[in-house]
Structure 1
Amino acid sequence: MVTKSSFPDIDVPAVDVWGLLFERKDRPFSDNKVIYVDPETNRSYTFAETKKAAIEFGKGLKAQWDWKKGDVLALYTPNSIDTPAVIWGTHWAGGVISPANPAYTPAELAFQLKDCGAKALVTQKAFLADARAAAKSVGLSEKRIIILGDERDDKFKHFTSIRNLSGATRYVRTRVNPEKDLAFLVYSSGTTGHPKGVMLSHRNIVSNLFMLAAGEGNNLSSEGGPDGKGDKLLAFLPFFHIYGLTCLIHYAFFRGLTIYVMAKFDLERFCSIIQENKITFAYAVPPVVLQLAKNPVVDKYDLSTIRMMSSGAAPLTREIVNALYDKRNIKVKQGYGLSETSPTTHSQRWEDWQTAMGSVGPLLPNQTAKFMSADEKELEVGETGELWVKGPNVFLGYWKNPEGTKNALTDDGYFKTGDVGFQDKKGNFYITDRVKELIKYKGFQVPPAELEGLLVSHPDVDDVAVLGIYNEDQATEVPRAYVVPKAGVPGTPETGKRIADWLSSKVAGHKRLRGGVRFVDVIPKTASGKILRRVLKQQAEAEEKKVKSKL
């Protein structure tokens, strides 16, 4: 059964991201509206200051390197209030942004730089060593490494110096085709071990901003909030992730909302910023919601100005929602999306946060969706299957990966999400499982095959499989390795720690084996050699039950 969104269709303008944000005629806030604030330094950007910085940076790119339409600029940086100007300056110059996780090792960053063909790399001083190592390995000149943020290094150009290049004023904005030209090339981990470049057009992003606005309704606005001066958001979600990239950087600017930008999440600082600045709304992830509900350090702070939180990136249970509301009187609604959908496809209405608890809400405007059986037959309301989604927010395909694109997109434009769920009679969607084997650690994707490929090269490992094991204390999956040790190697805790520590030195922090190492006699596989993860997961669940029964 095909479901059409219950929201009225939106007439999405045929403009690029720059045209929507900076050239619209219906902007409901002034040029001097403050949008981005660094709560640690009080440095900020208004709408006008962001526009000026972006244009100057875009002109600088053209003057410095003859920047052309389609050239890719990679970001390797924690959250910064300078990031939006760099992004939109690159768009002004016709370029594409490819954000990378700042926790990446040089090897992981190098893969992305090479795959996307980055012409320049923006980072921060504290990340220069890894950025230089990655750039060197792919032949990217150090002269094309740019620093943003408050710290500088005399050997490298700061983004402000790119903005102030002499002779840059003669350049004009590069025009792009919103339907076909890319705005972002974000990387989404796949079960093959190598991340895939997700091609997001300008139209994809523009469409999703209008869809988000419909989902939030008039609840968030530049004049809203308890004091009538506009809603204030707290931004800790990483800007390199599509969730933070669209829902925070772009959506705040589109709606004239002020966001206080955290470089990284810290619970106590998170609470103090809310109290000091009277934050009214925050996008979150389940582990943070859990900490707010249970950590006693939160008791020291007044969070009463929060009118609503919205959780995404991973499932959030009814128990956690209730725990936060009972303890702090904070309401949490849910949403759903993927990198391939720009990202948001579903969002609970504010008034339904309690009545539709556990769901991700209704389908947002301009989309259709259906749940499909394993043999790709349409299912009825209430029946469980894989979610397929179609709309103007659905990506163009995977970068230089026609086979992956063919497997993900149908001929008539549906994206096969790989997530399993159902919808109820009221039109609320529920996500219950994943077809894909990705592990989601606090919203970050961890491809098991990548870790397995590394672990099998360890001298103590004969065979290995990596699974996501749900950790109740953290409210997230954590990676755990099931290892068949080499003959003569003892399957002891010391051996397991040695293997886990070895892997930690080779991967980003979110890919570490927080679920530990377990030793087994054999990894269950099919006749063709494919790991039977479901069988192994059942064994793992049986082990967990046995351990709990002894406690």
Structure 2
Amino acid sequence: MPSESKYPSIPIPDIDLWAFLFERKDKSFPDDKVIYFDPYTSRSYTYAQVKSTAIEFGKGLKALWDWKKGDVLALYTPNCIDTPAVTWGCHWAGGILSPANPGYTVDELAFQLKDSGAKALITQLPFVKAAKEAASKVGIPEDRVAVIGDHRDPEGRVKHFTSIRNISGATRYRRTKAKPDEDLAFLVYSSGTTGHPKGVMLTHKNIVANTMMIKAAEAGNLSWKGGPSGEGDKLLAFLPFFHIYGLTCLIHQSMYSGFQLVVMPKFDLDDFCRIIQEHKVTFAYVVPPVVLLLSKHPTVDKYDLSSIKMMNSGAAPLTHELVHALHNRLKIPIKQGYGLSETSPTTHTQPWSDWNKTIGSVGTMLPYQTAKYMSPEEKEVAPGEVGELWIKGPNVFKGYLNNPEGTANSLMPDGYFKTGDIGYQDKDGNFYITDRVKELIKYKGFQVPPAELEGKLAAHTKIADAAVIGVYDKEQATELPRAYIVPAAGIEANEATTAEITQWLNKQVANHKKLRGGIIFVDEIPKSVSGKILRRVLKEKAKRDEEAKAKL
């Protein structure tokens, strides 16, 4: 039987995001509560300021750009405290927001603009050149590219969003309401492992539901205490707002629950530690590469991080070794959650009190969902048996934009979403994610999960970071596990180090999991902005290396 949630089911209101956030009667914090704070400039937004700015921007969209229901506004920017007001201003005007990675090239951005059908583009001044080039490629007029942030064009060649807010005659416009379970709020783009990114269609109901589901798990409403509350709790935000993890867990959760969100444009270890120390940050959403740095990097010792009550890790598997390393060094407890762009994102999290009882688990399901693990033959497997996780609930996306085949392959007729993640659940309803379906290494019929080997390698004192992929060996007609390793500071990348690591790992793993594909030392492990290891980049490198070797 499919597993169901053990968390309390907080009612999900049948309203759009604007009404959910700004027309509520149950708000437990004052309108002048500072919600978004920039620690670099001390600029901030209160709840009331976000609302008023969003309304002004929404009216400006209608007056200046003739905004209609369903029009798409693209956002191409690092984290900025103006982002929430622009986001909900777009929704006020009936629009759909499509956030894009500011690291995109012109062509990558142009693909998203064209695929989403974006009508206008918001960026920041340092990104204007690329933004205008991409806009031009897809036919977006130059005067529909505007900027947010602290920097303005001194020559006035590009509008600042504040000028869109103050359009004369805009007061006559009224809010465009959305149908919660039909109308899209966001088009986020999921990178995938091959081909172009896919546009994930998320409705207003998806985000409203997931915000309430997160609140049920995180806000200390259960028998365990210590979860963040609106009273004095501060969340540190470096996770990108263009990624669903930051979009829902940071932007929406902070506004709904009244947390102060201390916003970083991107991750920097010194700034991360300094801001926690100076602003007494109490909670941080992180990713495994950051946990690795906090558990090993010498600069961390310069700071007092004792205000942190808990960290929550997501986006990639968090291993036993990393949990213990962080807690042993800093005494910071860390729990794990799980989700995907297609599930808005959070589906599971460990309860605060259970972080050290079920290490390695992503926790139990949030409310309003059912889930099951399925065999390759699409038969449900029993607890303890490994399969692919399928999930159903109000947070599951509407489908992939312009991609009926991709939608049909992942969304079942009965509403279940095939996550593509491998794992199992135990008898107590704790879920475990061991790897991606497409990333498992097949060695002579045995399955080797790369994340398991990476977790063990990360614990070695001579390793700063590691990634594992499968490389095909023609002679043996099978994949072999290979590790790419960043040596710790002062460690020689030589045969002696290779031998030491190989022998050390061999004593800890089953025979089929040994690194028969060897160890390659590298300067860094390629990762996405959300912390996922980009194994395809390493596989491309392995292929190039083999081709070069064959020419010798």
- CA distance in structure 2 between the partners assigned to 1:210 and 1:437 by the alignment: 32
Q: Report the secondary structure of 1:365's partner residue.
A: coil
**Which of 364, 367, 378 is matched with 1:365 structurally?**
367
User: Larger deviation: 199-208 or 138-147?
Assistant: 138-147
Q: How has the CA–CA distance of structure 1 residues 283 and 193 changed in structure 2, closer, same or farther, with 3 Å as cutoff? A: same
**Does structure 1 residue 517 correspond to structure 2 residue 519?**
no
**Which of 200, 222, 226 is matched with 1:198 structurally?**
200
Q: 1:157 aligns to what?
A: 159
Q: 1:75 aligns to what?
A: 75
- CA distance in structure 1 between the partners assigned to 2:109 and 2:228 by the alignment: 43
Q: 1:389 aligns to what?
A: 391
> Which amino acid letter does the alignment assign opposite residue 283 of structure 1?
Y
Q: 2:324 aligns to what?
A: 322
Q: How has the CA–CA distance of structure 1 residues 474 and 245 changed in structure 2, closer, same or farther, with 3 Å as cutoff? A: farther
- CA distance in structure 1 between the partners assigned to 2:229 and 2:371 by the alignment: 39
Is the CA contact (8 Å cut-off) linking 1:225 and 1:280 kept in structure 2? no
User: Larger deviation: 36-45 or 184-193?
Assistant: 184-193
Number of aligned residues: 474
- CA distance in structure 1 between the partners assigned to 2:197 and 2:440 by the alignment: 11
Is the CA contact (8 Å cut-off) linking 1:107 and 1:134 kept in structure 2? yes
Q: How has the CA–CA distance of structure 1 residues 327 and 184 changed in structure 2, closer, same or farther, with 3 Å as cutoff? A: same
Residue 199 of structure 1: how far off its partner (Å): 0.3
- CA distance in structure 2 between the partners assigned to 1:228 and 1:185 by the alignment: 29
Q: Report the secondary structure of 1:161's partner residue.
A: helix
Residue 403 of structure 1: how far off its partner (Å): 1.0
Query: Deviation string for 1:330-367 (max 9, x for gaps)?
Result: 01000000000000000000000000110000010000
Q: 1:16 aligns to what?
A: 16
Q: 1:145 aligns to what?
A: 145
Residue 10 of structure 1: how far off its partner (Å): 3.1
> Which amino acid letter does the alignment assign opposite residue 87 of structure 2?
I
**Does structure 1 residue 216 correspond to structure 2 residue 218?**
yes
**Which of 258, 265, 279 is matched with 2:281 structurally?**
279
- CA distance in structure 2 between the partners assigned to 1:404 and 1:131 by the alignment: 28
Is the CA contact (8 Å cut-off) linking 2:4 and 2:369 kept in structure 1? yes
Is the CA contact (8 Å cut-off) linking 1:480 and 1:516 kept in structure 2? no
Q: Report the secondary structure of 1:63's partner residue.
A: helix
Q: Report the secondary structure of 1:517's partner residue.
A: helix
Q: 2:174 aligns to what?
A: 172
Give 5+ residue unaligned stretches, structure 2.
Answer: 442-449, 475-521, 548-552
The TM-score, its normalising length taken from structure 1, stands at 0.81
- CA distance in structure 1 between the partners assigned to 2:36 and 2:542 by the alignment: 46
User: Larger deviation: 187-196 or 258-267?
Assistant: 187-196
Q: How has the CA–CA distance of structure 1 residues 409 and 226 changed in structure 2, closer, same or farther, with 3 Å as cutoff? A: closer
Query: Deviation string for 1:3-48 (max 9, x for gaps)?
Result: 1111233321101111110011000000000000000000000000
Q: 1:544 aligns to what?
A: none
Query: Deviation string for 1:75-130 (max 9, x for gaps)?
Result: 00000000000000000000000000000000000000000000000000001111
Is the CA contact (8 Å cut-off) linking 1:58 and 1:89 kept in structure 2? yes
Q: Report the secondary structure of 1:119's partner residue.
A: strand
Is the CA contact (8 Å cut-off) linking 1:483 and 1:517 kept in structure 2? no
- CA distance in structure 1 between the partners assigned to 2:57 and 2:37 by the alignment: 20
The TM-score, its normalising length taken from structure 2, stands at 0.81
**Which of 296, 304, 307 is matched with 1:305 structurally?**
307
Is the CA contact (8 Å cut-off) linking 1:483 and 1:518 kept in structure 2? no
Residue 480 of structure 1: how far off its partner (Å): 10
- CA distance in structure 2 between the partners assigned to 1:211 and 1:44 by the alignment: 27
Q: How has the CA–CA distance of structure 1 residues 243 and 66 changed in structure 2, closer, same or farther, with 3 Å as cutoff? A: same
- CA distance in structure 2 between the partners assigned to 1:263 and 1:480 by the alignment: 35
> Which amino acid letter does the alignment assign opposite residue 173 of structure 1?
R
Residue 474 of structure 1: how far off its partner (Å): 5.7
Q: 1:104 aligns to what?
A: 104
Residue 180 of structure 1: how far off its partner (Å): 0.2
User: Larger deviation: 30-39 or 134-143?
Assistant: 134-143
Question: Where does 1:443-522 land on structure 2 (aligned, <5 Å)?
Answer: 470=454, 472=458, 473=463, 477=467, 513=537, 517-518=541-542
> Which amino acid letter does the alignment assign opposite residue 541 of structure 2?
V
Give 5+ residue unaligned stretches, structure 1.
Answer: 440-466, 485-499, 524-551
- CA distance in structure 2 between the partners assigned to 1:345 and 1:508 by the alignment: 17
Q: CA RMSD in A?
A: 2.9
> Which amino acid letter does the alignment assign opposite residue 51 of structure 1?
K
Query: Deviation string for 1:283-332 (max 9, x for gaps)?
Result: 00001011111111010100000000000000010111111111101010
**Which of 264, 267, 288 is matched with 1:265 structurally?**
267
> Which amino acid letter does the alignment assign opposite residue 425 of structure 2?
Q
Residue 65 of structure 1: how far off its partner (Å): 1.2
Query: Deviation string for 1:246-304 (max 9, x for gaps)?
Result: 00000000000001100010001100000000000000000101111111101010000
Q: 2:499 aligns to what?
A: none
Q: 1:335 aligns to what?
A: 337
> Which amino acid letter does the alignment assign opposite residue 72 of structure 1?
V
Q: Report the secondary structure of 2:362's partner residue.
A: coil
Residue 136 of structure 1: how far off its partner (Å): 1.1
**Does structure 1 residue 421 correspond to structure 2 residue 423?**
yes
Residue 218 of structure 1: how far off its partner (Å): 1.9
Q: 2:130 aligns to what?
A: 130
Q: How has the CA–CA distance of structure 1 residues 325 and 117 changed in structure 2, closer, same or farther, with 3 Å as cutoff? A: same
Q: How has the CA–CA distance of structure 1 residues 237 and 479 changed in structure 2, closer, same or farther, with 3 Å as cutoff? A: farther
Residue 482 of structure 1: how far off its partner (Å): 9.0
> Which amino acid letter does the alignment assign opposite residue 328 of structure 1?
L
